[in-house]
Every structure is written in C-alpha cells, then in structure tokens.
Amino acid sequence: MSNDDGRATIIIKKVKKGGHGGHHGGAWKVAYADFVTAMMAFFLLLWLLNVTTEEQRLGIADYFTPASVSRNLAGSDGVMGGQSMSEAGAQQSDSSPVGVTIQLPPATEEWEGETEGLMAVQGGTEDEAEPIPGQETTVDEKELEESDIERLMEELEAERFAEAEAQIRQTLESTPELKELSENLLIDQTPEGMRIQIVDKDGTSMFPSGSSGMYEHTTKLLQAVVDVIAGLENRIAIKGHTDATPFQSANGYSNWELSTDRANASRRTLIEGGLKPGRIESVVGRADQEPLIAEDPLSPQNRRISIILLRDTPARNLPDFQSNGGNN
C-alpha cells in the first residue's frame, strides 16, 4: 500500500504468544529442597534408631510429644520432658544440654523434728550424726564436765595443802629453837579443810594456865605457820579448845571465855605475822566440847588452837574425820 505522496505504508503487527514452560520459574527448586530435607530427616531417623538405646528413644519420643508425660523418673515433665541421650561418663559436646544431678533424701511421710530432718538431709543416723555447732549439750554432759572440773580443782587444792604441810614441817626441822616443838604441831585433813593444831604436851604448854597471853615459843610457832599459809588464798577458821578441868572465876569467866580469848589472841598474832585480815572467816571458842583425846577429857592435848584452811571445793573421797580426831 502507498499513500497519496507515493510512499509505501509499513504496518507492524505485534503478536502476543501464550505462556509456556521456558525455564518454568524457581518453584521446582523449593520442591527439590523439601525432598532433600525429607530424605535427610529420614536418614537421620534411621541413624538414631541404630545408635540409640530403647530408653533413649523413649526420651526422644517424649521430647517431641509435649502432651505426653514422661514414663521415667529422670528428666523434666511438660514440654521439656524426657531424658538426656548422654550416657554416664560419655564426653559431652558443646551443643549438648547441661544437666545437674542432685541426690535427694528418700521421701518420708512425716518429719518428727528438726534433729531428724537434719539427719535425713545429711544421710546419717542418730548415732552417726555430728553435733550441730552451737547446739547445747545435754544435762548429763554438763554434769560430767562440772564433775571433772570439780575433781581437778580438788586435786590441785590437795597438792597445795600437801606442799604447805611439807614446808611447815621443814621450817620446824630447820629451826633449832622450833625443832623441839614439832610434836606440839598436828596437821591433818578434815572435810572442812587442812587443820593445823597447836597443842599442849606434858611439860610444854602454849598458854599459861587460865590466861590468853601466849608464851614466846607459841608466837614463834604461829609465825612459822603464817609464813607458809600467807601465800595461799583459802579462808581461815580459828577455834580455841580447853580440857575438861573446871575453870570459873568469881565474875563468871569460864572455859568458854578462855577458849574464845585464846582463839582471838591467835588471830591477832597471825595478822601481825603477815596474814591478811580479810581471810579470817570465823573465830570461836569451843571450851571442852571437842576434845582431841575423847577418852581422856583431862589430857593436856585437849588444850589447843585449831587453824583450819577451809576448802574452796566440796570434799570428796575423804574419810569421815571426827572433829576431835587427828594424827601427828
């Protein structure tokens, strides 16, 4: 065809063709990937069935079954129910879940007390359980401890008394003017304590008859005693004694007053010799009520001064001394 000016008319015809496969897009790749993944899961399942035990397979099944309850005591319930696939002693990988094993005491129906509860946690028995720090000891243990301390104190006190007696006798033996008076000094142990007695002997008196003014040798004898007992801490009781010879003046002065005055004179001499006044606990006169020689009330040995170092602890394992008993 041509138009009026003689030029040919060109007609361009566009044809739309229907869609065909061509490269078919990327949908096939997704399908192939799903197939490969399924095959990997299948082969993984076969591998797991081959390398795991029945118990481990049950644990895996529990893990992938949230609604189920674990059929084993180990592991957790709920969504994370199941057990670890790892065997005891097997090497753990970095991706393996970390578990903590806790040994719990066996369940009991009732706790009978704090002591039983503590023993249950410690896994011990009543005999094997160790005492809890700060727990009070029983009454028997306290009594045992007190008796042990008491016995130890008594033993130490007995040693001090024995040393004091040995020192007094050594002083008398080493002093010529007092050596002859050693028989006038009696020392023994009584339930009250260590008793030091200065007694009269035939031909040797400590006081003039009927008087509380002591002789010079009596003062020296008391000084030898105080030089030793001054270093001890025991309190002291002083007693004055007379024989049964009746003595009574016109003003009613009797053996009671005489024995008391002689005990008080001895107290003054001891204090002047260096004894602390605060250690004197009592000064009494006993007249003839506690004779040293009971079968002979008129014996001169019944005229005496008793200086008793009182015990700080109760007496134990001592014979029941009579108050008028003694030994040389």
User: In terms of Cα–Cα distance, which of 230, 231, 288, 236 is closest to 258?
Assistant: 288
**pLDDT tens digits for range 72-99:** 544 555 545 555 544 554 445 455 454 4
Name the residue among 237, 238, 235 with its Cα closest to residue 312.
235
Confidence check: pLDDT of 284 > 90: yes
Q: Tens digit of pLDDT for each residue in 122-142?
A: 444 444 445 555 555 555 555
Q: What is the mean pLDDT of residues 262-281?
A: 94
The DSSP element (H or E) to which 227 belongs, if any, is helix 216-229
Is the pLDDT at 111 greater than 50? The verdict is no
Q: Which pLDDT belongs to residue 308?
A: 95
Q: What was the pLDDT predicted at 119?
A: 46
- What pLDDT, in 10s, does the model give residues 204-226? 899 998 899 999 999 999 999 99
Where are the domains positioned within the chain? 143-310
E runs forming strands in the chain: 185-189, 193-199, 236-241, 280-285, 304-310
Question: Could you tell me which residue, 172 or 143, shows the higher pLDDT?
Answer: 172
> Tell me, what's the pLDDT at 63?
78
Say which residue the tokens 């028989």 belong to. 183
Residue identified by tokens 């138009």 is 3
Distance CA 292, CA 201 (A): 12
User: Alpha-carbon distance 269 to 206, whole Å?
Assistant: 13
pTM of the model: 0.52
Segment 2-18 shows an average pLDDT of: 64
Q: What is the CATH number of domain 143-310?
A: 3.30.1330.60
- The pLDDT mean for the chain works out to 75
Decide if pLDDT at 318 tops 50: no
**Count of residues for the chain?**
328
**What are the residues facing 201 on neighbouring strands?**
204
Quickly tell me which residue has 């993944």 as its tokens.
Answer: 37
**For residue 281, what are its two tokens?**
């606990």
Half-sphere exposure of 309 toward its Cβ, with a 13 Å CA cutoff?
22
Confidence of residue 283 (pLDDT cuts 50, 70, 90): very high
Q: Looking at residue 136, what is its pLDDT?
A: 53
Going by C-alpha positions, the residue among 271, 247, 273, 276 that lies closest to residue 259 is 247
Q: Summarize the confidence of residues 292-306 as an average pLDDT.
A: 93
pLDDT band of residue 17 (cuts 50, 70, 90) is low
Mean pLDDT within 3-20: 64
Where residue 249 falls among pLDDT bands split at 50, 70, 90?
Answer: confident
Least confident range from 101-110, 251-260, 288-297: namely 101-110
CA–CA distance, 42 with 84 (Å, rounded to integer): 22
Q: What percent of the chain has pLDDT over 70?
A: 64
